[in-house]
Structure 1
């Protein structure tokens, strides 16, 4: 029997109808009780073979899930494998899958998000889970040529996509019952977090900034995933509202001033890569925004902020607490 009991305590956020952006200033780091996803069962048993349609249009049959390698830009697939109760079979992951429970699992992306064919083959995987956010494509082709089942999943990361992604991974690994239970638990946690988001007459405008040192500075727009998360915490995506049409565009002073965010949302490592709040203040246009004037920054661990995996409900709850209760 599957257990739907969560080890997390819910986060309660008091509603403030009279909330205004000026009420909050400074930096707040949103944190989870633990970065480890909670397995839906202690140890799952796969029913195989399982044949699924890969995102690239290929029908893939999986006959063995004893050695799983999972790699995507945000570590979502490894989180999902672990939460399905298959963590003991995860033999390879990428840098973004950085939660403590799999810290000792070998990393197959020694150079950022670049897959290493040799590193993967050395692990003797029986199935490789991935998507188009990580590559190069030649690696996945080489793995298929070597006889390894390679399953591509939808690379889109949104609130609406959390459940379907869990179902898809569960189907590929032959654990659909665990997938159904994990999807229901995750949705229940998302719904509970949404109920605790403070109500306010004028939604806060939040801009998501993706930074990797001074050379890579981007502001998010529609379809970035960040817009979906910002909406989930009762706020408005500043980039989208300002008229951006792409998922990410280079930061310019004009773009920031037009967005006029009340707060910035960022990954913690990205914020630190430019020298923290002091470095952020030096980016052209930041000082001219309400967020810049109030030094209002909310940051969260890179490995969970945009993963939209089984921890999503806890991410929403933690962000709501950080945004509205400094």
Structure 2
């Protein structure tokens, strides 16, 4: 056993290291190329360290004041470097191009990629890994605890409904979500099922496939329904009015990042979707 003095000195040294690590994280200039990571950093108390974010970084609303670096493949290394970050973070779902990642690394900037799976477990892992990287494990655990509490409130339906997600940007761009997407995974969390199962990712919407799928509920982003001029506009899309969802005007809308971000608000988003589908 160590003498009392040495034990005391050891504890003081450990305390210094912890304080120093926390201080270092708080002083970092961070650029986030992913809305979910931006939300996590805000949740663990590092919002003030964000000096640049991508356009999917919409929550909390205060992130709107932070300089934008672009969106997906349009993000250029020059714009990020102009913000003089200490670290650039993104996920494997961020679509930050390999060329930009290489250019950032070559410039001497720290570039960190996090893995992001669209599952309950994947979301919890992402929160914990971000918390560990930025020396904020206790704050990350608080986010996880809230997420798990919200998910536990979801009551799985005795008779699952068929949901169909339509991505819309006006009538000229209409896509439906197959399996494997974040929306599909969200449907699973609510206990309901995707109305289409024959393909993965997204494909163009056709009247024939829509009628064949015959969803009970149509799910869209708020912005998507607005681009179609509301429910009446959606019902004019060929095939929609012939579905159970169309006949019953059962349309659910939610904010895009909230519905598909799979971040700290995952439990709240899944619970809200479940309640809206009833």
Smaller-chain TM-score range? 0.7 to 0.9
SS at match of 1:161: helix
Q: Is this contact kept in 1: 2:116–2:126, CA < 8 A? A: no
Task: Report how far residue 112 of structure 1 moved.
Answer: 6.9
1:48-89 per-position Cα deviation (integer Å, ceiling 9, x unaligned): 79xxxxxxxxxxxx98861111122xx111011111111111
**Which aligned pairs between 1:183-202 and structure 2 lie closer than 5 A?**
183-192=144-153, 194=154, 197=155, 199-200=157-158, 202=159
Instruction: Give ranges in structure 2 of 5+ residues lacking alignment.
Output: 1-17
Q: Is this contact kept in 1: 2:116–2:123, CA < 8 A? A: no
1:191-237 per-position Cα deviation (integer Å, ceiling 9, x unaligned): 13x1xx3633x211111111222332111111101122112223111
1:253 aligns to what? 207
**Which aligned pairs between 1:199-218 and structure 2 lie closer than 5 A?**
199-200=157-158, 202-218=159-175
Question: How many equivalent residue pairs?
Answer: 259
1:222 aligned onto 2:179: yes
State the alpha-carbon separation in 1 of the partners of residues 227 and 258 from structure 2. Answer: 18
- TM-score, normalised relative to structure 1: 0.72
1:67 aligned onto 2:29: yes
State the alpha-carbon separation in 1 of the partners of residues 74 and 47 from structure 2. Answer: 23
Distance verdict in 2 for CA 1:112–1:141, change over 3 Å: closer
State the alpha-carbon separation in 2 of the partners of residues 198 and 210 from structure 1. Answer: 25
Please identify the structure whose Cα radius of gyration is greater: 2
State the alpha-carbon separation in 1 of the partners of residues 73 and 20 from structure 2. Answer: 29
Q: Which has the higher contact order (CA 8 A, sep 6+)?
A: 1
State the alpha-carbon separation in 1 of the partners of residues 97 and 171 from structure 2. Answer: 25
Runs of 4+ aligned structure 1 residues displaced above 4 Å come to 62-65
Match of 1:158 among 119, 127, 133: 119
State the alpha-carbon separation in 2 of the partners of residues 282 and 302 from structure 1. Answer: 23
State the alpha-carbon separation in 1 of the partners of residues 108 and 274 from structure 2. Answer: 46
Task: Report how far residue 113 of structure 1 moved.
Answer: 5.8
Distance verdict in 2 for CA 1:163–1:121, change over 3 Å: same
State the alpha-carbon separation in 1 of the partners of residues 33 and 49 from structure 2. Answer: 14
Task: Report how far residue 298 of structure 1 moved.
Answer: 0.3
1:159-202 per-position Cα deviation (integer Å, ceiling 9, x unaligned): 3321011112222223233323322332222213x1xx3633x2
SS at match of 1:85: coil
